[in-house]
Amino acid sequence: MIPVKDAVARAVQFALDTLEPPRISDLLLEEVESKVVGGQDVWLITLSMPRPGVFGPSPRARDYKTFTLDGETGEVLSMKIREVAETR
């Protein structure tokens, strides 16, 4: 399995390559998980980014995306919206 630092770096690079500049101005690592999905080792890397607003990115509101990476090759297999429960 590729090292976790490599998996995170690949997820970040994928985000930088595919998302628009306002979204990638402040990427943060939120979660890392190794898992077996369909018999395949994968990394699940969750990154957060500023939520776009009417007047530009919101300084507090963030969106979350989970990137699934092949555990052996590091290839990004998917990028999905990650819903986060609101805290009060």
pTM for the full model? 0.86
Domain range annotation of the chain:
4-81
**Which stretches within 1-88 are classed as H helix?**
4-18
pLDDT digits (tens, 9 = 90+) for 56-87: 656 678 899 999 999 999 999 999 998 877 66
In the CATH scheme, what is the code of domain 4-81? Answer: 3.10.450
Look at residue 47 in the predicted model and tell me its pLDDT: 97
Q: What does the alpha-carbon distance between residue 50 and residue 24 come to, in Å, rounded to a whole number?
A: 8
Residues 35 and 51: beta-carbon distance below 8 Å: no
Residue whose entry in the numeric block shows the structure tokens 């080792």: 41
Q: Where are any strands of DSSP class E within the chain? A: 28-37, 40-50, 62-70, 76-81
